[in-house]
Structure formats: structure tokens, C-alpha cells
Amino acid sequence: MCRPVVNFYFVHSYYPEPTDPGDELGGTEYGIPFAAAVGRKNLAAVQFHPEKSGPPGLQILRNFCHWDGVVS
């Protein structure tokens, strides 16, 4: 599957290591592959700064604001 390449702004080297691979919603690679977005049930989090990531980051913030917390 071909995934679109979108750039996001990361400012430090911290990253989550989900114990359940199903909790990883998105990943990236910078020297090593790592989880950039994680989620479970009605909780979702990103490791990058969406507010500093241009249009793609602002779209993620809009999606968060409109999300009703229901996982489909």
C-alpha cells in the first residue's frame, strides 16, 4: 500500500513505544522507526507539534475538534 508522504514538526527525541502494536496509528522514521501517533478507544495522541506543522497539522487539529470520541 502506498501511503502519502506528509511532513510534521518534531522538536525532540522522545517517542512512545506502544506495547500493543494495534495502538500505533501512525509512524515515521528518523534514524529509527517509531510511533508518531497512538490511540486506544477514545484516546488519541501525537508526538509531533500539529500547530507548527502547516496545513496537515491544522487538519489534524480540526479532526480532533470534530471527533466525537467514538471509535468506528
Residue 1: its pLDDT value, please? 65
- Quote the Cα angle for 26-68-63, to 5°: 45
pLDDT higher at 13 or 72: 13
Residue 49: its pLDDT value, please? 94
Contact 59, 70 (CB under 8 A): no
Contact 31, 17 (CB under 8 A): no
Residue 20: its pLDDT value, please? 96
Distances (CA, A) of 31 to 4, 13, 16, 45, 71: 20, 11, 15, 22, 32
Q: Is the pTM for the entire model greater than 0.75?
A: yes
Contact 8, 57 (CB under 8 A): yes
Lowest mean pLDDT, pick from 8-12, 13-17, 27-31, 68-72: 68-72
